[in-house]
């Protein structure tokens, strides 16, 4: 078990998501950066869908009430166990009573904490992913105690999983996102399409698990459409010319033109962008 001494900015429990309910308006949820989340579970020989902790920008302070094997992936947040500096993508065995804390954000935006066996948060609609309105809360709170599925399942020396290849440096710093054309991309002129694929944008402060807004406007338009399905990774163009990238907690339908669709790998890259970071779109 882990006691949350301080929850950080936005820390939640996520598994691979709440699948099969979008037709009734339930968001998928799940980790914003599936590349780093899946790597964390793979490094511990966990099931890919085992629940882990998603930590955003400012990390929590966690008290381990039992021994465990853990790993951190994704953003580098100057993590420590007591006074020991931790590296990302490297499993560690922690003892009962140890304190995990985080310091200055050095790279990326979201870090993933996995423990051997996964976290045992209550399942709602087949998923442990936290989402306000579906689960009791959308994030962890101070003094909350989180259990492991198998708290005594420590990894023996030499048995640590190799997992996937860890994200390359460009994963965090590449400003061009590979994207597919969205259903309404061809409603716009060649000149407008060129603007959409050649401009560089910056991430707005109005960015969260529902969507990333971009600061720069391109062109106003009056393209109307019937409210239609959208997915995590759908990029919408508002009438005012602003772009919105829908993220894992996004709504299931929308009425703005869907100009791009990000593959999962590009969506993971977006999840590691901070407000002010540059990004652009390159058609696949």
CA dihedral in degrees (154, 101, 7, 90; nearest 10)? Answer: -40
Question: In Å, what is the CA distance from 208 to each residue of 40, 63, 137, 274, 275?
Answer: 22, 27, 16, 10, 10
Q: pLDDT by residue (tens digit) across 114-168?
A: 999 999 988 999 999 999 999 999 999 999 999 987 645 555 544 556 556 678 7
Report H helices in the chain. 34-43, 169-173, 190-198, 264-271
* DSSP at 269: H
pLDDT tens-digit series, residues 86-97: 999 999 999 999
167 contact partners, CB below 8 Å, separation of at least 6: 35, 36, 39, 74
Interval 66-112: pLDDT, tens: 999 999 999 999 999 999 999 999 999 999 999 999 999 999 999 99
Full set of structural domains in the chain with CATH: 2-169 (no CATH), 174-283 (2.40.100.10)
Half-sphere exposure of 177 (CA within 13 A, CB side): 32
CB contact at 8 A, 4 and 144: yes
CB contact at 8 A, 130 and 12: yes
Residue-wise pLDDT for 182-207, tens only, equals: 999 999 999 999 999 999 999 999 99
Indicate the DSSP class of residue 182.
Answer: P
**Single pTM value for the model:** 0.94
User: In which residue are the tokens 């597919």 written?
Assistant: 180
> What is the band of 212 on the pLDDT scale with cuts at 50, 70, 90?
very high
């Amino acid at each position: 078990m882990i006691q949350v001494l301080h929850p950080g900015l936005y820390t939640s429990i996520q598994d691979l998501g709440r699948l099969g309910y979008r037709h009734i308006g339930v968001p998928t949820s799940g980790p914003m950066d599936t590349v780093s989340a899946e790597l964390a579970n793979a490094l511990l020989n966990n099931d890919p869908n085992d629940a882990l902790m998603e930590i955003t920008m400012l990390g929590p302070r966690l008290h381990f009430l039992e021994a465990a094997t853990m790993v951190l992936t994704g953003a580098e947040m100057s993590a420590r166990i007591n006074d020991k500096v931790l590296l990302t993508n490297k499993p560690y065995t922690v003892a009962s009573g140890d304190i995990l804390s985080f310091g200055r954000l050095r790279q990326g935006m979201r870090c993933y904490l996995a423990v051997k066996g996964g976290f045992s948060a209550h399942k709602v609609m087949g998923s442990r992913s936290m989402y306000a309105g579906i689960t009791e809360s959308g994030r962890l709170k101070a003094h909350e105690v989180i259990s492991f599925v198998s708290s005594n399942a420590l990894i023996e020396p030499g048995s640590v999983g190799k997992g996937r290849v860890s994200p390359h440096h460009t994963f965090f710093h590449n400003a061009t996102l590979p994207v597919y054309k969205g259903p309404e991309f061809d409603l716009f002129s060649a000149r407008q399409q060129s603007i959409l694929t050649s401009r560089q944008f910056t991430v707005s402060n109005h960015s969260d698990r529902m969507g990333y807004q971009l600061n720069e406007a391109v062109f106003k338009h009056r393209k109307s459409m019937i409210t239609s399905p959208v997915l995590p990774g759908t990029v919408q163009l508002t009438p005012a010319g602003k772009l919105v990238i829908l993220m894992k907690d996004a709504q299931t339908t929308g009425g703005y033109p869907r100009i791009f669709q990000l593959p999962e790998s590009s969506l993971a890259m977006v999840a590691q962008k901070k407000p002010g970071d540059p990004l652009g779109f390159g058609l696949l």
